[in-house]
Chain A
Amino acid sequence: MIQARIGKRFPPGEESPGFSLEIELQAAAGVTALFGPSGAGKTLTLDAIAGFVKPDSGRILLDDAILFDAATQVHLRPQLRRCGYVFENGALFPHMSLRANLEFAARQLPRLERHRRVNEMLERFQLQAAAGRKPREVSGGEKQRCSIARALIGGPRLLLLDEPARGLDAPLRAGLYAVLQQVRAEFKLPILLVTHDLEECFELADQMLVISRGRVVQSGPPRKILDSPATVDVARLLGITNLFEAEILALDPGRNTSRLRVRDRELAGAYYPGHLRGDRVWLFARSEELRALPGGKAGPNQIPATLLRVHERPQGVRLEFSGGISVDMSRAQYLAQKDNKEWLVEFPPPAVRVVQEGNAAEDIR
């Protein structure tokens, strides 16, 4: 169990506008993803936990060990923290064989156990064949597995992963995910994973912290966060493109329905607990949940729109309509109706979600 409260300030400099980190997190065994855009402070958080960076304030607790405490001036050296750290590039020592890399890390183990443990890790991570070779002579997957094995061999109490999938091609990425699933299952320890890839969060994370401008703006299981982002800011970070200002006209908890006014149109949605009639909110809808139909008379929850652009994507196409609406559909569906002059976009009521207007930017200043 890792519990951390980390504060660090960087005053504005000539080239930077200044930055302040104020992170609070808690993670039990399993994968916790630190998700956010670059420059949000994710890696800084990891470095503070690992002991490479000294925070100005706060306290870091790993199981029953105090790694850092500003109040009592405790700042353990990285060597003593028992945090395995997997760097973005793997950081395998290039002048040592894979086996020597593991042996380097196994130094703290008792002499007799060392050799056995190195062999066990080589086997567990399928590295026996490559063990004698230097990192530059082995495949990307072997390098990756070795850097994870190296971080785990000393028996850490926490595993830190800094964008391990960055710059990997699709097969390597899939291999990495498989290895991390295996690590999660076999080593019962908290794993903090820094990433800016939402799919990676869904693939690996039990919990997810959305980090923006040095703050945790939301935390929870990935699916839950995607379904109900706490703020407009979070919704934008999650890549939700359909975001509109709206007003709640009616709420009916009995029938689980509501009516919203968006621009000059009305849409039906579900009941939104915690909101009142007349509230100004943001409506959001994920583009894969909307439907685009040939134009005609607009029915309930349908909005006429003009097609502006078509974006080709691996999974299909994304249609960009007037009014900032975007809709995903399969290629086949699109080809069948691409000659449409007029379009209607349908918002199925369950896809219509709202988020309170409150912007995370406010509590930062």
Chain B
Amino acid sequence: MTIDWFPLWLSLRVACLSTAVSLVIGLGIAYLLATYSFRGKEAVDAAVTLPLILPPTVLGYYLLVVLGRESSLGRLYEWFFGRPLVFTWQAAVVAAMFHAIPLLVKSARAGFASVDPSYQRAARSLGASDWRVFWRVTLPLARRSIYAAAVLTFARSLGDFGITLMIAGNFPGRTQTLAVAVYDAVEAGNGRMARALAILISLLAVGILYAANRLEQRRGAA
């Protein structure tokens, strides 16, 4: 049997990109939620968590509506990048982010909140801007939980199936990620392929979880 390595390679690429973008967006949201109190804070929290609860098909449907070629966002993307977003591998990145960001926000928020507020107060009373407090104090002190959160984000991004199938589709060699490839193999009755891919994904997941736990433990020891 020749194994097609494309899905693995694509999944890694999608996961890396999704993790990077999720970190930027998710850390921002998590810091806002952990540090400031503002009107509508709980609404933001709920909105961030919602994707974990909605069925992937429903989310995928919404995204198709919002990002499709007829939508304004979709047209904006097409105008900017010169090609549509939906049913491309970039759409798989967006799909992965929707489950990755809630996870990231949850654990990064807890990480930020676990930083003793007297450090932030001290920094502010010493004249440091909020921006500087974030970069020089809060972020370094919360770094262990952020590493762990990033690893989890990566793991979650690697395994997205439902939303990916809805908005990126299942085009072998173009948008077929590992998780989708397993589905495809089972559908096609290719048992050996499905088995090999399933074991591959499982091994990756176990390795990543092990790494995340190690990071968390070192945080406890520090």
Contacts and interface: CB of A to CB of B under 8 A. Distances in A.
A93 B126 CA distance: 12
B116 interface: yes
B contact residues, range: 10 to 19
Contacts of B116: 89, 91
Interface of B: 116, 118-119, 121-129, 132, 136-137, 140-141
A27 interface: no
A87 B137 CA distance: 16
A79 B141 contact: no
A105 interface: yes
Nearest to A108: B127
A66 to B, nearest CB: 18
Interface string A63-101: 000000000000001111101110111010111000000
A107 B118 CA distance: 19
Interface string A92-135: 01110000000011011000000000000000000000000000
B115 to A, nearest CB: 10
A233 B128 CA distance: 42
B120 to A, nearest CB: 9
Given A94-B141, A95-B141, A78 B125 contact: yes
B136 A85 contact: no
A81 B125 contact: yes
A85 B127 contact: no
A91 B124 contact: no
13 contacts: A51-B124, A52-B125, A79-B128, A80-B127, A81-B125, A87-B122, A89-B116, A91-B119, A91-B122, A93-B119, A104-B128, A107-B132, A154-B126
Nearest to A156: B125
Given A77-B124, A81-B125, A89-B116, 20 more contacts: A50-B121, A51-B125, A52-B121, A78-B121, A78-B125, A79-B124, A79-B128, A79-B129, A85-B121, A87-B118, A87-B121, A88-B118, A93-B119, A93-B123, A93-B141, A94-B141, A95-B140, A95-B141, A107-B126, A154-B127
A150 interface: yes
What's the interface size class on A, roughly? Answer: 20 to 34
A77 B141 CA distance: 23
Return the 10 tightest CB-CB contacts between A and B, nearest first: A91-B122, A105-B126, A91-B118, A85-B125, A78-B124, A87-B118, A108-B127, A95-B140, A78-B125, A79-B127
B122 to A, nearest CB: 4
Contacts of A108: 127
Nearest to A52: B121
A80 B129 CA distance: 10
Given A79-B129, A89-B118, A91-B116, A104 B123 contact: yes
B118 A150 contact: no
A31 to B, nearest CB: 19
Contacts of A83: 125
